[in-house]
Amino acid sequence: MIILNNVSFSYDKGKEILHDINLHIRKGEKTALIGANGAGKSTLIKALVGLISVTGSIAVSGMEVSRKNLAAIRQKTGLVLQNSDNQMFMPTVYDDMRFGPLNYGISGEETERRIDEVLEKLEISSLKNRQNHKLSGGEKKMASIATILVMDPDTVIMDEPCSSLDPYNRRKVINIIKSLDKTLLIASHDLDMILETCERTLIMKDGRIVADGQTKELLKNRELLENNRLELPLKYQL
Say yes or no to pLDDT of 13 above 80.
no
pLDDT at 11: 82
Distance separating alpha carbons of residues 29 and 189, to the nearest angstrom: 19
Distance separating alpha carbons of residues 156 and 134, to the nearest angstrom: 27
pLDDT tens for 70-107 read 888 988 999 998 888 888 999 999 999 999 999 989 99
pLDDT at 54: 93
% of the chain at pLDDT higher than 70: 99
CATH of the domain at 128: 3.40.50.300
Average pLDDT in the 196-225 region? 96
pLDDT at 84: 87
Q: Tell me the average pLDDT of the chain.
A: 93
Say yes or no to pLDDT of 14 above 90.
no
Say yes or no to pLDDT of 238 above 80.
no
Say yes or no to pLDDT of 236 above 80.
yes
pLDDT at 83: 86
Say yes or no to pLDDT of 169 above 90.
no
Long-range contacts of 25-28 (CB under 8 A, 24+ apart): 25/1, 25/183, 25/185, 25/200, 26/1, 26/183, 27/1, 27/154, 27/183, 28/1, 28/181, 28/182, 28/183
Say yes or no to pLDDT of 117 above 90.
yes
Q: Note whether 200 and 214 are within 8 A (CB).
A: yes
Distance separating alpha carbons of residues 219 and 191, to the nearest angstrom: 8
In degrees, rounded to 5, the angle at the alpha carbon of residue 32 between the alpha carbons of residues 100 and 85 is 40
pLDDT at 87: 87
Question: What's 160's DSSP letter?
Answer: S
- CA 87 centroid distance within chain: 13
In DSSP notation, 18-67 reads: EEEEEEEE-TT-EEEEE-STTSSHHHHHHHHTTSS--EEEEEETTEE-SG
Average pLDDT in the 14-29 region? 92
Q: How many domains does the chain have?
A: 1
Distance separating alpha carbons of residues 122 and 134, to the nearest angstrom: 19
Q: Which domain holds residue 183?
A: 2-237
Distance separating alpha carbons of residues 174 and 190, to the nearest angstrom: 11
